[in-house]
Amino acid sequence: MAETIKLKVSRYRPEEESEPTFQSYDAPYNKDWVLLDALNHVKNEIDGSLTFRWSCRMGVCGSCGMMVNGTPKLTCAIPLTDYDPSEPVLIEPLQFFPVIRDLVVDITGFLAKLSSVKPWIIRDDEDTSSSDEAEYRQTPAELDAYKQYSMCINCMLCYSACPVVGLESDFTGPAAIALAQRYNLDSRDQGAAERMEILNEHEGLWGCTFVGECTKVCPKNVDPAGAIQLYKLATATDWFKSMLLPWGSK
């Protein structure tokens, strides 16, 4: 078995250069390691200036997303031995995001998009003074209706996979729209109409052309593409209802 594997890592030092460059490092081809371990080895033993995000190292925090050989992945979730040691592994920051340094990208735009869809339980009546309203009960079937969309860890791999995110910087994007659906379909929530107002826009729902790559790269099987298409269907159903039954309530 090979001794080392070459990592070809994108470096960007804004104080020194105006564009990213590549730097190669040899990491031990350890069969027990994930790609993140190899990156940490580089940082600890070879080049302390290499900068990247990571935290839980077990696929729940969403911090360690990077482009690996052109595909967005969580580096803590890929065994090093998935890669042939005779070829270098290309590691770049998540695409379609501004790069701050090396493999670290600016996520403020993403966070703004998440909050734009009002990702919290919206109630028509906010009065919780009576104890009857202190608890919202939900059956297992009601939980099933939105549970899949609640599994998102905000890792942004879907944004790096979606070409529309790259083409239209204002596009709300897969995770945010799936998050809106997570609340729309929650039986405790009454804010679907409010969110539909926000997302029934070109930069919202309608920017999506169902490429489907977001769902392919999602490490948590959230299926944002499916969430978005169902949301489009709900919007169309709503449109017909409002046209054909204008006297209908809500």
Partner 1 sequence: MSTKGITPLLWFLFGAGGMVSALFFPVHIFLVGLAFPLGWFEAPSYEALHSLVLHPITRLYLFVFIFLPLFHWAHRFRYTLYDLFQIQHGLQMPIAVLCYGAALVGTLMAAYTLFTIT
Partner 2 sequence: MGFEVSTSQVPLDGLKFYRRPMSFWWWLERRAYFNFILRELTCVFVGAFAVLTLMQIRSLGRGPEAYAAFIAQLSTPVFLIFSVVTFLSVCYHTVTFLQAVPSIVVVRLREGRVSDRVVAGVHYALWLVASLAVVFVFLR
The contact set with partner 1 (CB under 8 A) reads 163-164, 167, 200-202, 206, 209, 232, 235-236, 238-240
Site string for partner 2, 87-116 (x = CB under 8 A): --------xx-xxx-----x-xx--xx--x
Sites for partner 2 among residues 9-68 (CB under 8 A): 12, 14-15, 18-20
Q: Report how far residue 189's alpha carbon sits from residue 181's, in angstroms, rounded to the nearest whole number.
A: 11
SS3 content of the chain, % helix, strand, coil (to 5): 40, 15, 45
Nearest to 179 by CA among 89, 118, 230, 249: 118
The entry of partner 2, partner 1, none near residue 197 (CB within 5 to 8 angstroms by kind) is none
Tell me the chain's radius of gyration from C-alpha atoms: 22
Sites for partner 2 among residues 202-221 (CB under 8 A): 203, 209-213, 216
Q: How far does the chain reach from its first CA to its final CA, in angstroms?
A: 66
CB atoms within 10 A of CB 21: 11
Of 26-34, 55-63, 165-173, 237-245, the segment contacting partner 2 by CB under 8 A is: 165-173
Instruction: Provide the b/e sequence for 92-103 (b: ≥16 CB within 10 Å).
Output: bbbbbbebebbb
The entry of partner 1, partner 2, none near residue 100 (CB within 5 to 8 angstroms by kind) is partner 2
The entry of partner 2, partner 1, none near residue 19 (CB within 5 to 8 angstroms by kind) is partner 2
Extract the tokens encoding 125: 């009546």
Q: Report how far residue 186's alpha carbon sits from residue 184's, in angstroms, rounded to the nearest whole number.
A: 6
Give φ, ψ of 214 to 5 degrees.
Answer: -60, -45
**Least Cβ distance, residue 227 to partner 1 (angstroms):** 15
**Least Cβ distance, residue 19 to partner 2 (angstroms):** 7
Q: Is 119 in the site for partner 2 (CB under 8 A)?
A: no
Residue ranges that bind partner 2, judged by CB under 8 A: 12, 14-15, 18-20, 70, 95-96, 98-100, 106, 108-109, 112-113, 116, 144-145, 163, 166-167, 169-170, 201, 203, 209-213, 216, 223, 225-226, 229-230, 233
